């Protein structure tokens, strides 16, 4: 199965609306070419610089005519509705009639680029149409280049490019979430509130539905052999030949014997295939006589409860979660699946944001420990240095960290996490080689299984994020941009051995601003809203903030520079001095996108 067959329906397109002054006999005629050229430049920019998670370049649809009034606005809308347009960008070099030309679809993110020129007043239209958007309660993003351009200049200035592409990535994420499912496999893990499904959150904020299966469905499919046995043979050979099987940390009395460990590996492979099939279906199952199972659940993300009923008896979910979240498996290099440990639905939604904005794999982790410089010195007799010198946060969890999180993919000799189509065979092999599959800690996981153990390479720019649900307020998003750091081996060894050393470790350092939650590293840990975070490659805080504003989720903690914050213009009307407070007020007034 190829990745672009993964979900039912086409990828959403971006609709481009060239608006124009409707006055014929001179004015309109003189502007037609320029206006359409702006639309074409935006289409070219998007096709070059934005891709869908399946690797295809983004598709755009330009309205058949410039839009001078309401009839042409309706014609553009009809075209867009037929073409599965999920996001629209209006462009214009001139004055046009605000409410007569505007896009009034309340659920499709909309931006307007008003050309900064002097011959015709694009900025005046921009201000007028944004006022109409605000007055009608239909928030839109305004884009106005900083420097004046000449009317015959069809280039898009870099500040405008940045805003258009940021808007497009976030808008497409909104559109790609819509009408997909989150699949809960099992229910609440160990009282973790994030694994209590809040259907209103998924339905009203993300436009998604919730699907559920009991974990016994895995048992049924394993026992009745409802999976592709040929694929199983390939997977088994692949991991036996290429996997590194690390040592057992369990006391002799608690160790599983060789026969059990071999069975655990086989069960883990079957769990991986079955979870994927539950999410997206598998045509092979039709050949086996299981047409219903072959359909899958149109799930763009899933979560596996695991602990404790399953893991007290069966092999744990670490292998399954690690492989599915990675950009490769025994079938080759492919887009990651999003699977949350402990069925933490809120971390899964955060991982989806990171994945759909960047097209890269995500690292799910416990926000485990803050190590102050003095605590590290006390325990190791060594001082933290460089980026780590203000203290470090230990990200660690059984399960869902993508193997891409090893940092074994490179650009210009530096560790990165890439979209799957840029990952080479050698890099995928290196990620696997940097991972040890170790017998699970049987005091935690009585049913055994294989845990994935690696240490993330340092110097990767990353962003950790998390959605939290607050009674009386709704969802809020928090994020921290920072870097992975690599500690000298002796320090890492001492710190890591104090916890469960069979799991993947990332040492994270946030960028500090000296204010609020970013006063120091301790404050970042202290202000984290739950036990988990999702880590994404790159400094994507600004994209996350734009996306959150589209979904009306306020951001309660971030360390993104103010000049990079891009939200609908209406947000400024809720206050310009205190952007954080304005965000909360705006989100409260507009409410969830799909209410
Ligand atoms: C094995 C343990 O139960 C861990 O899974 C636990 O510490 C968590 O990850 C909690 O989020
Ligand atoms: Mn956890």
Phi (first) and psi of residue 567, to 5 degrees: -130, 170
Helices (H), ranges, 152-308? 158-177, 199-200, 216-223, 229-242, 258-280, 284-287, 291-295
| 179 annotated as ligand-binding | no
What is the distance of C-alpha 370 from the center of its chain?
Answer: 25
* pLDDT tens-digit series, residues 97-150: 999 999 999 999 999 999 888 877 788 999 999 999 999 999 999 999 999 988
> Rounded to an integer, what distance in angstroms lies between the CA atom of residue 456 and that of residue 439?
20
The whole-angstrom separation of Cα 524 and Cα 533 is: 12
How many Å apart are CA 112 and CA 561, to the nearest integer? Answer: 23
pLDDT at 590: 98
Return the pLDDT at 122: 81
% of residues, the chain, pLDDT over 70: 99
> Is a pLDDT exceeding 50 seen at residue 312?
yes
Least confident range of 113-122, 276-285, 293-302, 573-582: 113-122
Q: Is the dihedral of CA 139, 145, 148, 153 positive or negative?
A: negative
Within 10 A of 377 (CB to CB), how many other CB atoms are there?
14
Rounded-to-integer distance, Cα 79 and Cα 532, Å = 43
What is the Cα–Cα distance from 97 to 123, expressed in whole angstroms?
A: 13
How far from 84 is each of 60, 81, 299, CA to CA, in Å? 10, 6, 20
Distance between CA atoms of residues 207 and 452, nearest Å: 33
What is the DSSP secondary-structure string of 263-306?
HHHHHHHHHHHHHHHHHH--THHHHTT-HHHHH---EEEEEE--
Query: Measured between alpha carbons, how far is 83 from 10 in angstroms, rounded to an integer?
Result: 9
- pLDDT category at 6 given cuts 50, 70, 90 is low
Q: Write the CB contacts of 519 (distance below 8 Å, at least 6 apart in sequence).
A: 512, 513
In sequence order, the 6+-apart residues with CB closer than 8 A to the CB of 68 are 19, 20, 21, 22, 28, 96, 97, 101
Atom of ligand 1 nearest to the CA of 344: 11
Known binding residue 366? Answer is: yes
Residue 522: alpha-carbon gap to chain centroid: 26
Q: Outline where 500-578 has alpha helix (H).
A: 521-526, 541-551
342 is an annotated ligand-binding site residue:
yes
Dist. CA 386–CA 499, nearest whole Å: 24
**Which residues line ligand 1 at a C-beta cut-off of 6 Å?**
307, 342, 366, 397-398, 444, 531
Active-site pick, 103, 198, 228, 366:
366
166 pLDDT more than 60: yes
**Candidates 315, 531, 532, 534: which one to mutate for ligand 1, based on the most atoms within 8 Å of Cβ?**
531
> What does the angle CA 103 – CA 105 – CA 108 come to, to the nearest 5 degrees?
100
Chain segment 241-292, per-residue pLDDT in tens:
999 999 999 999 999 999 999 999 999 999 999 999 999 999 999 999 999 9
Closest CA to 404 of 376, 423, 385: 423
Beta strands in 372-519 (DSSP E): 392-396, 409-411, 414-416, 436-439, 450-453, 461-470, 474-485, 505-510
- Predicted confidence band of residue 227 (pLDDT cuts 50, 70, 90): very high
Q: How many whole angstroms separate alpha carbon 9 and alpha carbon 473?
A: 34
540 CA to centre of own chain? 10
What pLDDT, on a 0 to 100 scale, did the predictor assign at position 1? 40
pLDDT at 119: 79
Q: Residue 398 has what pLDDT?
A: 84
Q: Which domains does the chain have, with CATH numbers?
A: 3-177 (3.40.50.1070), 181-590 (3.20.14.10)
pLDDT class of 196 with cuts at 50, 70, 90: very high
Q: Which helix (H) or strand (E) segment is 380 a member of?
A: helix 373-380
Angle, vertex CA 386, rays to CA 382 and CA 391, nearest 5: 65
Q: DSSP states of 315-327 as a string?
A: --SHHHHHHHHSS
For residue 154, pLDDT over 60 is answered with yes
pLDDT of residue 243: 98
ipTM value greater than 0.95: yes
Distance (angstroms) between ligand 1 centre and the Cα of 190 equals 8
DSSP characters for 86-99?
A: EEEEEEESS---HH
Which of 363, 365, 397 has most ligand 1 atoms within 8 Å of CB, for mutation? 397
How many alpha carbons fall within 13 Å on the CB side of residue 163?
23
28 band by pLDDT with thresholds 50, 70 and 90: very high
Catalytic site residue 342?
A: yes
**Candidate from 250, 317, 366 with most ligand 1 atoms within 8 A of CB, to mutate:** 366
CA 500 to ligand 1: nearest atom? 1
What is the C-alpha separation between 289 and 226, in angstroms, rounded? 9
Q: What is the pLDDT of residues 350-407, one digit of tens each?
A: 999 999 999 999 999 999 999 999 999 999 999 999 999 999 999 998 889 999 999 9
Atom number of ligand 1 nearest to Cα 308: 3
Name the pairing type of β-strands 555-557 and 532-537: unpaired
Catalytic residue, chosen from 198, 204, 342, 344, is: 342
> 342 CA to middle of ligand 1, Å?
8
pLDDT given for residue 2 in this prediction = 40
Q: What angle do CA 76, 81, 82 make, to 5 degrees?
A: 100
How many Å apart are CA 572 and CA 570, to the nearest integer?
5
In the predicted structure, residue 3 carries a pLDDT above the cut 60: no
Q: Which range is least confidently modeled, 431-435, 457-461, 495-499?
A: 495-499
Q: How far apart are CA 454 and CA 501, in angstroms?
A: 9
């Amino acid at each position: 199965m190829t990745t672009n067959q993964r979900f039912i329906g086409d990828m959403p397109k971006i609709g481009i609306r060239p608006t124009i002054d409707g006055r014929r006999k001179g004015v309109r005629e003189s502007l037609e070419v320029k206006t359409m050229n702006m639309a074409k430049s935006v289409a070219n920019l998007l096709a070059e610089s934005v891709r869908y998670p399946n690797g295809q370049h983004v598709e755009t649809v330009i309205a058949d005519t410039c839009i001078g009034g309401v009839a042409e606005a309706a014609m553009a809308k009809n075209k867009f509705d037929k073409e599965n347009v999920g996001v629209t960008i209006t462009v214009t070099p001139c004055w046009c009639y605000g409410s007569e030309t505007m896009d009034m679809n309340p659920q499709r993110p909309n931006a307007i680029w008003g050309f900064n020129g002097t011959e015709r007043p694009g900025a005046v239209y921009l201000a007028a149409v944004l006022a109409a958007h605000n007055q009608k309660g239909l928030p839109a993003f305004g884009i106005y280049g900083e420097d004046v351009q000449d009317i015959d200049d069809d280039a898009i200035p870099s500040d405008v490019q940045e805003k258009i592409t940021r808007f497009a990535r976030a808008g497409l994420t909104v559109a790609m979430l819509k009408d997909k499912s989150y699949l809960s496999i099992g229910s609440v893990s160990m009282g973790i509130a994030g694994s209590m499904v809040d259907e209103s959150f998924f339905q009203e904020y993300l436009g998604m539905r919730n699907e559920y299966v009991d974990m016994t469905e895995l048992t049924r499919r394993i026992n009745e052999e409802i999976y592709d046995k040929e694929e199983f043979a390939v997977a088994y050979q692949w991991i036996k030949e290429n996997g590194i099987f690390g040592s057992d940390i369990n006391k002799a009395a608690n160790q599983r014997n060789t026969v059990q460990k071999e069975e655990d590996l086989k069960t883990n492979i079957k769990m991986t295939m079955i979870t994927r099939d539950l999410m997206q279906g598998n045509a092979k199952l039709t050949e086996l006589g299981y047409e219903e199972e072959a359909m899958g659940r149109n799930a763009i993300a899933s979560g596996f409860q695991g602990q404790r009923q399953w893991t007290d008896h069966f092999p744990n979910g670490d292998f399954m979660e690690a492989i599915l979240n990675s950009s490769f498996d025994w079938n080759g290099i492919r887009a990651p699946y999003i699977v949350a440990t402990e069925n933490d639905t809120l971390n899964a939604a955060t991982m989806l944001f990171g994945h759909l904005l960047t097209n890269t794999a995500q690292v799910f982790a416990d926000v485990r420990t803050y190590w102050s410089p003095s605590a590290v010195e006390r325990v190791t007799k060594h001082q933290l240095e460089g980026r780590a010198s203000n203290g470090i946060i230990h990200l660690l969890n059984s399960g869902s960290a993508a193997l891409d999180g090893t940092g074994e993919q490179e650009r210009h000799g530096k560790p990165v996490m890439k979209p799957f189509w840029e990952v080479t065979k050698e890099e995928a092999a290196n990620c696997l080689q940097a991972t040890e599959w170790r017998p699970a800690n049987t005091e935690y996981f009585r049913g055994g299984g294989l845990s994935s153990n690696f240490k993330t390479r340092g110097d990767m720019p990353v962003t950790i994020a998390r959605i939290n649900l607050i009674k009386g307020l709704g969802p809020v998003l928090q994020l921290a941009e920072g870097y992975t750091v690599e500690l000298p081996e002796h320090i890492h060894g001492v710190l890591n051995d104090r916890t469960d050393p069979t799991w993947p470790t990332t040492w994270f350092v946030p960028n500090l601003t000296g204010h609020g939650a970013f006063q120091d590293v301790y404050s970042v840990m202290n202000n984290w809203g739950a036990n988990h975070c999702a880590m994404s490659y790159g400094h994507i805080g600004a994209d996350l903030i734009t996306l959150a504003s589209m979904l009306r989720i306020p951001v309660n903690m971030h360390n993104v520079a103010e000049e990079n914050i891009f939200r609908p213009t209406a947000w400024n009307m809720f206050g310009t001095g205190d952007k954080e407070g304005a965000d909360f007020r705006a989100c409260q007034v507009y409410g969830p996108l799909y209410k």
